[in-house]
Homo-oligomer: A and B are copies of this chain.
């Protein structure tokens, strides 16, 4: 079954088998790599174990048995715990291991992981993704990678099992920065599309007819193409969770403040998403933003 380059036969470790992590780990397993798995909620790994993955009880144990370790967890504090916790990866990391954090997290945390790895004679790469659960399932994720270039290059055979558009962005943390740039654009397209649809409805336009008129021009965007039709159907099922987007925007705003720049548009969008979260929509899809706008307008 196996596989490209100098990675043949390497044992891989995978931590975090949520909706995305589960699909991604499956791809590696199906390609024939020996896979060791740890995740907080063990039941979420059971199907991987049936496919041949081996369970371990802690990140430390996983690190002692793997050569390349992937992490795909939820929040920066989860990353922190998994790497630096008492039974974390760094407590038993082997020399020459490669750590690949695919969680979207702080660039500064990625840098700290990279430094700690070097101190232990290992290497770390930050490689957050975009493309959501569908991209994870279909192995069409975009991967934005930061770290040592030759290490990132050596991982390409694995990344290519997970995604299509794999771009090296620079040193440690650069993958995270690139992901922030991605999210900042999305925040803009999302507020534009949601405000536009709210205006369309209130002004008595037929929103479907409107979409037909504007999607091919300068207003054209992925969000208009893919999420506007869902909004018009009142479909707020998550492609990407509101609460994860709130996390990402929070990181971007923290970093912006640290770099001495202001992102007033992103701040405004973040405020609206916090409102949406307070309205109980943390687990809705990001397109639910229109509900925050509607509630704001009702309030007057």
A219-B189 contact in complex given A178-B213, A184-B199, A199-B180, C-beta closer than 8 Å: yes
Specify which chain B residues have a CB less than 8 angstroms from the CB of A132 in the assembled complex: 218
Indicate if the CB atoms of A188 and B188 lie closer than 8 Å.
yes
Say whether A66 faces chain B, with CB atoms less than 8 Å apart: no
Task: Give the interface SS of chain A, mostly helix, strand, loop or mixed.
Answer: helix
The closest CB in chain B to the CB of A220 belongs to: B222
1/0 contact trace for A8-35 toward B, CB 8 Å?
0000000000000000000000000000
Query: Oligomeric state, in number of copies?
Result: 2
Q: A59 — which chain B residues lie within 8 A by C-beta?
A: none
- Confirm or deny: A85 has a beta carbon within 8 angstroms of a beta carbon on chain B: no
B269:A214 contact, CB within 8 angstroms: no
- 21 pairs from A and B in contact (CB 8 Å cutoff): A144-B214, A165-B213, A165-B216, A170-B209, A178-B200, A180-B199, A181-B199, A181-B203, A181-B214, A184-B196, A185-B193, A185-B214, A188-B188, A188-B196, A189-B192, A199-B252, A199-B255, A218-B223, A219-B222, A221-B223, A264-B293
